[in-house]
Chains A and B, each alone.
Chain A
Amino acid sequence: MKRLLPASLALAVALCITGCDSNKPTTTGPLLPNKNPFPSTYQIPSAAVLVIQNANLLTGANEQLDSTDLIVENGKITAIGADLAVPENAQVVDASGKWLTPGLIDVHSHMGVYPAPETSNHSDGNEMTSPVTAQVWAEHSVWPEDPQFEKALAGGVTTVQILPGSGNLIGGRGVTLKNVPSITVQGMKFPDAPYSLKMACGENPKRVYGSKGILPSTRMGNMAGYRSAWIEAKAYKKTWDDYVSDFNAGLDVDPPLRDLRLETLTGVLEGDIRVHNHCYKVDEMAQMVDMAKEFGYSIAAFHHAVEGYKAAPMLAAENICGVMWADWWGFKQEAFDMVRENLALVDHAQACAIIHSDDPIQVQRLNQEIAKAMSAGNRMGLNISHAKAIGWGTLNAAKSLGLDDRIGSLEVGKNADLVLWSGEPLSVYSHAEKVWIDGALRFDRADASVQPTSDFNLGILTEGEARP
């Protein structure tokens, strides 16, 4: 068994949160904004060495390994193979006849910012007071007690990207969370995950602002709105670049006044913040691609890419992920051209295909959504294996978040985010039996004490009763 990481990993991570921030203002360098003012306080709980024996693995990396063991130590996968020796004091899980996958990742969720119950007091996902609100951060709206989180966990979802809504051209920063119970959002934040920026094409922004009589009321207004924002951001970035070079030249200069809105856009231009762009239609995707080139940033993913199959060659060429539903359509004109083979066709074009929910019911069964998309592709003869398809909710999703070096596949050295399924993961009849995040058991279908329940549920659910 190869041990890749020191036992003190958890401690190291914890120390990093306060001690490793190179961007902290110091008296010796230029005074730069703190890029991480709301640091993660997530800690990996200590857990015994875990050995999962004799599971059928779908690794997430287009691989199926039958009757295989997997060992977890200090939150990381340390060995995968047949008949592995069991370390002393290890906890052994017999997974014969069961299936193991990486934790599922939902890259498009509004849990916490649009929690249940859906009431106006907690409706915090769309700052629809200006078409460009890059200054708002979804994490500041997340209600950690949203009872939707625990249901997603029971469905095997270990990582979620929480995004602002799509009412604005630029809606603000998204945040990647580990799906663990916490009384603060900081306790859920995925340490050192890149931030994202939510942008939105099409009908929503023009409807929201058109009805208020301000730009944009048209798609051309949409484009003008984004471009104006990027022009401002370029100018803002230059003021800081000039400040740093003047400082480094020994001049006595004060830093420019911070502007939260432009600071986030500058983060995109500098490549720190990843663009997740709500965009249904191929013609609009092509314009967003051109605009990204005009201003020198890249797009990580097009979300709700209902016309992904029309854009597939472009997605492949531009290295942009298509984030799609299996079958949603018809609620808006821009969602009218749905095909059930969308993920399969994007994948077939060698582009990065990702399933997403955007929905608290569907997030609980992303495996079924993947299954439907795979089945549609197979029906037309695309021969998609389960091993391939599971990647649409694991490794590809991790890639779009900039986290594929840490999560998304069962590989030695990666975080032990694991789901043990009662049967084939892509079946309606299978349940997530156990869910581990960083090697810690966070959900157990057979053990009510490992079924987190939000404060909200107390006194509402019958005491001691965990509801499916």
Chain B
Amino acid sequence: MKNLIAPLVLSLLATTVAAESLLIKGADIYTAKAVLPATDLYIDNGRITAIGNTAPSTADRIIDGNGKSISPGLFNADTHLGVVEVGAIDATVDFYSELSSITASFKVADAFNPKSTLFPHNRVHGLTHALTVPEAGAGLFAGQVALIELGQPAKVINDSVAIAVDFTESGVSHAGNSRASALAVLRQNLDDAIAFSANKAAAMRGDSRDYSLSLADLQALEPVINGRTPLLVKTHRASDIRTILKVAKDYRLKLILSGAVEGWLVADEIAAAKVPVIMDPIINLPQSYEKLGARLDNAKLLADAGVTLVFTGMDGQSTHNAYLVRQSAGNAVANGLDKTTAIAAMTLNPATLFGANVKGEIATGAVADLVLWSGDPLDVTSEAELVLIDGVPAAMVSRALQLRDRYYEAATK
């Protein structure tokens, strides 16, 4: 059993209680705005109270951070966490509605399962926050996006940080199966939401013309047409992105783009509209005709144009292995993106954009929501050694680790 020293050490770390003071000495700190090489970090009662030479020299617990790094807790902005357990087992899949009367009003947070095994698995690898995004099942509108935290227990922080629309090739199949019909439907839906909002009392009495959406959906869209809640539109082709930018301008919507595989082709227009983009920088294949322009430096080109980036990833594993957003970010850096920008895209940017309960930044006074990495924060050979979520150290246990230890013990007896 001598080989199990490392996991034992990790479980000791995990027993650190929030009320203790913790000093991590000499790790490289990636604050999400800058890099502070070999710097001390002091955490007291779950809060970052000092960084650098202002840090006290002693604490209840001291960790040598030499050769290690610290980043804010990871945030993956496009997952199904909490609303799926096993992809192929339909009974565990709650991230889409098949009812055409429940689209914009579809609230994934209502199906949220805090006991999902996906939470500990992602938590031990440094994921502290995520968006749980519904998929379109019966209309262009997929539903309401939830902001979640992977604390113990995992919980919904905000059940409606955005309303998602699917304007991809797959999404438009729910709206006449042509981009043109889908655009007409989208405009009609928004017009109806405006009309409904202006005649709400009459509409609720049943004293109005027919609408293209159910009353529940029209009500759900009210904060969108009022510009309070962002519309999060998944779309990829450059011309589709332009279409959506125009819709957002016409209706004065707060827009967030998602996907944007061909975003680099219209990067200046996205930047000029001040629209943030949720994207997976790993996608570089023409997987469909709307993604023919896919390229590995999409993130870099968007950032160069001044677009605010928010990351998801990696590819098809963005839920069960949502923590692999870090690998997608690393590949973006390998293909030209500035490292601090990459880290901000999975920490500070989403935390700010969606109003998280943490800053997404390593800063004095901030709640400690951070990860101590065994090496470079983006490299694939670095492991999370300590994870603090909203000030609380995460237990470094998961079903996968239990399975590992059970079979390793059996093999070494």
Which listed segment binds A: B50-58, B106-114, B285-293? B285-293
Cα separation A327 to B317 with both chains bound (whole Å): 9
- B87 interfacial by beta-carbon distance below 8 Å: yes
Among residues of A, the one whose C-beta sits closest to the C-beta of B381 is A375
Say yes or no: B403 contacts A337, CB within 8 Å: yes
| Cβ–Cβ < 8 Å partners of B88 in chain A | 203, 331-333
- B185 interfacial by beta-carbon distance below 8 Å: no
With contacts A118-B288, A330-B320, A339-B400 known, is A426 near B297, CB below 8 A?
no
Say yes or no: A429 contacts B382, CB within 8 Å: no
- A164 interfacial by beta-carbon distance below 8 Å: no
Chain B interface, >50% SS class: loop
Say yes or no: A116 contacts B287, CB within 8 Å: yes
Chain A: minimal CB distance from B389 (Å):
20
- A328 interfacial by beta-carbon distance below 8 Å: yes
Say yes or no: B383 contacts A379, CB within 8 Å: yes
With contacts A327-B324, A345-B411, A381-B5 known, is A468 near B333, CB below 8 A?
no
Q: How many A residues touch the partner, as a band?
A: 35 or more
| Cβ–Cβ < 8 Å partners of A309 in chain B | 403-404, 407-408
Say yes or no: B333 contacts A429, CB within 8 Å: yes
Chain A: minimal CB distance from B412 (Å):
9
Say yes or no: A329 contacts B284, CB within 8 Å: no
| Cβ–Cβ < 8 Å partners of A374 in chain B | 381
- A349 interfacial by beta-carbon distance below 8 Å: yes
A330, A345, A461 pick with most chain B CB within 10 angstroms: A330
| Cβ–Cβ < 8 Å partners of A336 in chain B | 86
Say yes or no: B86 contacts A331, CB within 8 Å: yes
With contacts A330-B118, A381-B3 known, is A429 near B321, CB below 8 A?
no
On chain B, the number of residues with a Cβ less than 8 Å from chain A's Cβ atoms is: 55
Among residues of B, the one whose C-beta sits closest to the C-beta of A423 is B334
Cα separation A360 to B408 with both chains bound (whole Å): 32
Among residues of A, the one whose C-beta sits closest to the C-beta of B379 is A428
| Cβ–Cβ < 8 Å partners of B383 in chain A | 375-376, 379
With contacts A330-B86, A368-B327 known, is A427 near B379, CB below 8 A?
yes
Kindly identify which residue among B87, B330, B381, B403 contacts A331, using a CB–CB cutoff of 8 Å.
Answer: B87
Among residues of B, the one whose C-beta sits closest to the C-beta of A148 is B285
User: Which A residues, 365 to 394, have Cβ-Cβ distances below 8 Å to chain B?
Assistant: 365, 368, 371-372, 374-376, 378-382
Say yes or no: A313 contacts B411, CB within 8 Å: yes
Cα separation A368 to B324 with both chains bound (whole Å): 12
Chain A: minimal CB distance from B198 (Å):
44
Cα separation A147 to B286 with both chains bound (whole Å): 8
- A117 interfacial by beta-carbon distance below 8 Å: yes
User: Which A residues, 137 to 169, have Cβ-Cβ distances below 8 Å to chain B?
Assistant: 147-148, 151
Chain A: minimal CB distance from B125 (Å):
9
Say yes or no: B287 contacts A117, CB within 8 Å: yes
User: Which B residues, 242 to 300, have Cβ-Cβ distances below 8 Å to chain A?
Assistant: 282-289, 291-297
User: Which B residues, 357 to 394, have Cβ-Cβ distances below 8 Å to chain A?
Assistant: 374, 378-383
Chain B: minimal CB distance from A151 (Å):
6
Chain A: minimal CB distance from B383 (Å):
5
Cα separation A430 to B333 with both chains bound (whole Å): 11
8 cross-chain CB contacts under 8 A: A333-B89, A340-B404, A345-B408, A365-B331, A375-B383, A426-B380, A467-B295, A468-B297
Known contacts A117-B292, A381-B6; 4 further A-B pairs (Cβ under 8 A): A117-B289, A362-B315, A427-B380, A428-B333
